[in-house]
Structure 1
Amino acid sequence: MSAPFSWDEPEGLAARGTLIVLAGRGEHGGVYERFGRRLAFDAYRVRALGDASADPSVLDEAAKLLADESLPGPKVLVGSDTGARYAAHLAAEQTAGVDALILAGLPTTPWVSGTWQAEVEARTACPTHQGRLTHDPEFRRGALDATPDLPELRLEKVRVPVLALHGKDDVVSPLDEALHAYGDVRTVLFNGGRHDVLNDALHRTAAATVVLFLERLRLSTELPAIAQGDLA
């Protein structure tokens, strides 16, 4: 198990909390660099881990980070793809230190890409991220075609605030199936969004949605509204 990828708040600012990211199939923590840097700019520390479906020690490392008193709270588990299932599992087990849960692109039924071009286009519409995945030697192509044994999804047992992010055009986890899986969870949908919603073309909006959730969480677990009105 390699060390987590880390992004910290700018010098001179007090950290506002910690996000622990569990990557999805084929990914490693470094894939979330853009997300990590953006959240760190807003003074949240980010620790990104690998694919627990390929390396179960990721879950042990996540538990250690949650228990690490040097990392500021609130501590939020963020999971993408299969990482969302593992993050939900840790929260359902009421693992010590989990203050909230963010799920992105929760996997539903098996999906087969057939080609790399089909996979990368299903993952993201962002040309920058497509290029990152295409030229990343540590990224495992074809991993989305795998159907690993995953922990049971027990969101009804999660006792902390939960936010779900999902792309409306996600063909890996089709929207209707995903909404059924999320149930009553607070869910934000992204128009045109694909599977890797944190690294998709609307990644700025996804990051802003996460920051707003975190700011509300800092006020109370009841997530009181901070601003009202409509920009439209």
Structure 2
Amino acid sequence: MVLDPGHNGANATHPAEINKQVPAGRGETKPCNTTGTSTNAGYPEHEFTFDVAQRVGAELTAKGIKVIYTRPDDTGIGPCVDKRAETGNKANADAVISIHADGSNAPNAHGFHVSYSSPPLNEEQGPPSTNLAKTLRDTLTNAGFETSTYLGKQGLAPRADLAGLNLSTRPTALIECGNMRNPTEAKKMTTPEGRQKYAKAITQAIETYLSPQ
């Protein structure tokens, strides 16, 4: 299992590195990475995603599932989006989940959504990735999280422009856990209890996806 916590703690202070163009799939290029968003009070997305990923990883490891992270800490730069995809590909991961949070300035916008590469560029981006995305969507919904009111449809938002999804040769999905600019969701994300609730639901989704059908 590969966990990809979005962004990184030092991205903002290294613009040259994170703005360089890298392959993004479909013949396009994109900046290496971005700084991510934050709550109105300044709690950064990179810190949220890293904390949630560590919580998910600890639970999976305790259950005997091998976990690889695309970044080892929250103080570095990048890695670039193409390198993040490469981590999952090289590991021949059974699944790759990229963890993010959104930053819509519409304060009433809230809810999570899950993205996958569409149209698919290889077999693993087809049913395996869509099944992973739907499993994440269903599990978070059952855990009490609302689907997005402003992006996607019924919690799913297929994308053709996300490098980490386009370049993956493994089942891959990206979850935007919610809108950090929404006061209610920001409160969840900035508390250990809230982050543990996100982590528990994501962990359960991964276990469900990896379980023999």
Which category describes the TM-score, using the shorter chain as reference length?
Answer: 0.3 to 0.5
RCO higher in 1 or 2 (8 Å CA, sep ≥ 6)?
A: 2
TM-score of the aligned structures, taking structure 1 as reference length: 0.39
TM-score of the aligned structures, taking structure 2 as reference length: 0.42
